[in-house]
Structure 1
Amino acid sequence: MVGVLEGFATIAVVVAVGWLLADRRILDDSAQVNLSRLAFYVASPALLLTVMQRTSLQQVLSTNLVTSLTSFVLVVGVYLLIARLRWGAGTLGSQLVGSLSAGYVNAGNLGIPIALYVLGDVAWVAPTLLMQLLLVTPVYMALFDSDARDERPTLVRSIGRMFRNPITLGAVAGLLVAVFDIHLPRVVAAPIDLLGAMAVPSMLVAFGISLRRGPRPATGRAAEQVWTVVALKTLVMPAIAFGVGLALGLRGQALFAVVVTAALPTAQNIFTYAVRYRREVNLARDAIFVSTFASVPVILGIAALFHGFAGV
C-alpha cells in the first residue's frame, strides 16, 4: 500500500508548488494558460510518443483492453443520461468535459506507480493507457475541435480533425514507431524525451495555480455535478469494471488490475483540454481534485478486499 500513498504524495507536492507560486504572485492566470498550452501542444505529444513506442502491443491487446473500453463507454453513458435528466443537455463542450471527468483515468503519472507497487507490474495499466490514447483521445479531440469551431460533427470532419490534433499525432507517431520497430537516433530521441518530461509537471503546476486563483473546489451551484462525476469515477466505474471483467472471464490478478485501474482518479489531462478549449474548466479542476482524494481509500479498500477474499 506504500506505493499508492507515494504516487499520490508525489502529485500533491507538485500541485502544492503551483499553489504556492500563485499565492506568492510569482505566477498568475496567464501562466496557468501558458503552461496548459505548453503541455497540450508540445510536452504531451512528446510524452505520448515516448510512452507508445515503449509499449508492447502483445501485452496490451488483451481482454483487459476490452474491459477498460467497455467500462469507459458504460460510465460515459451513465453520466450523459444523468446530465440530460438532471441539468439539461448542455453544450457539446460541457458534455465532453463532464464525460471525460467521469471516465478518463489517471493511467499515466498515477497509474504507472500504482501498477508497479500495488499490482506488481507496469504492464497491467498498459491496456487502459493504450485505449485512452489511441481510441478515446482522438475521438474526443475531434469533437472538441468541432465544438470550438461551432461545426456539426461529421465522420469526415472528425477523422480529419483527429490527425491534425497534436495529442493524437503524438500517440499515432509513437504507435507507428513501435509497430515498425523503428529505433530513433539519440539526437532525435533525447530532445523528445526531454520535452515529454515537461508534460506532467506543467499540468500539475497549472492545476495548482487554478486551485489558488479559482473558486474553492466543489462549491456553489456546480457542487452537485462535481460530486456526481466523482461518484461515477471512483465508485461506479470500478464496479462496472468488476462486473464486465467477470463476464469476460477475468479472475485473480487480471480482474484485480482492471478494477484498481478503473478506480484511479480523473486524469490531469482533462484540465489541460478544458483550458485549451475553454469549456467547463472549474468542473474539470474540481473533479480531478476531489476524485484524487476520494480514490485513495477506494483503491486501498479494493486492494484489501482482493487480498482478503481472492488471495491476490
Structure 2
Amino acid sequence: MNQIPDTIDGVEAMLAGENYVVGRALATVTFLALKLGRPLFLEGEAGVGKTELAKALAQGLGRKLIRLQCYEGLDAASAVYEWNFAAQMVAIRTAEVTEGTDRAALTSELFSDDFLIRRPLLDAMSPQDGGAPVLLIDELDRTDEPFEAFLLEALSDFQVTIPELGTVKAPEPPIVILTSNRTREVHDALKRRCLYHWVDYPSFDREMEILQARAPEAAQDLSREIVAFVQRLRTEDLFKKPGVAETIDWAKCLLALDVLTLSPETIADTLGAILKYQDDIQRLAGSEAAKILEESRKALELT
C-alpha cells in the first residue's frame, strides 16, 4: 500500500506513473476526494477516461479495485450480498442423514459467513489487506431511482445491513469513484454527497500526451494525424462520438497494420475501431472520410 499523495502535484505524478494523463482541474478534485474522504462523481461522454481514473488510482495507491458495474434493474441485494443456496442445500441434506442434528445450530450455521457471497458493496465495506479499497460504481445512470436511494444511505454511513447477520460498517471508508455517461440525470441528493467533475474530451495537446503514454510505439507524425482526425470527427453530428479510448484503440489497430500515414482507404478499412454505430460508419464512407482527413491535415499545418 502506498501513501495518499499530500499535494495536487503528487496526485498528478502518481497517475502519470500509471500512464494516466490528468489535467489540473481533475487532479485537484481527485486530491480533495482523497484528502477529505469524499466520494468522487465523474460525468462525461463514454470513453473519456472516467473508469480508467479509478483503475489508475487503485494501481498507484496499491489498493484493491472493487467494481460495481451498474445495469437496469440492479437492486440492493445484487449489489451487496447473496446466500450460497446450493451450498446451503447440501448442508441441509447432509444434516438430514445425520442423527442428533441440532436444528437451531444448523439454522445459525446456514446463515453464517461461510455461506455468504460478498457482492461489491459488502466487499468494499469489509476489512482488506493493504488498506481501504477503491470502490468503482460504474455507469450509475444505468440504474433506477430506488437503487440511488439505497446507495445514498450506504455511502452516507459506509455501512450495509444484512438481516440475518446485522450491520456491517467499514473499518475504514473505501475510496469511492462513481461514473455516469449522463444517459439520464442522477438525483441531486446523491450528487450532494460527492465532489463532482465533468470529464470532457481533451484538447489536441492533451490527447497527444495520452496517446503517447498509451501507445508509445506510434510515430509522432502518425499520432498527430490520428488525433487531428479524431478531433475533427468529433465536430460531426454523430450518434456516438469517438472517445479517447477509441483514439487509443485506433492507433493500436493502425500500428498492427504497419500504417505509416493515414489515407482514405485505411480509414475506411478501420472505421470500426473508432465508430460503433453502422449509421455513423455509413456517413463517413467514401468521400466524406477523405474530406475530414484533408481538413484535419490543414488544421495541423496551422498549429
**TM value normalised by structure 1:** 0.19
Between Structure 1 and Structure 2, the one with more helix by share is 1
| Higher RCO by CA contacts (8 Å cutoff, separation 6 or greater) | 1
**TM value normalised by structure 2:** 0.20
Between Structure 1 and Structure 2, the one with more strand by share is 2
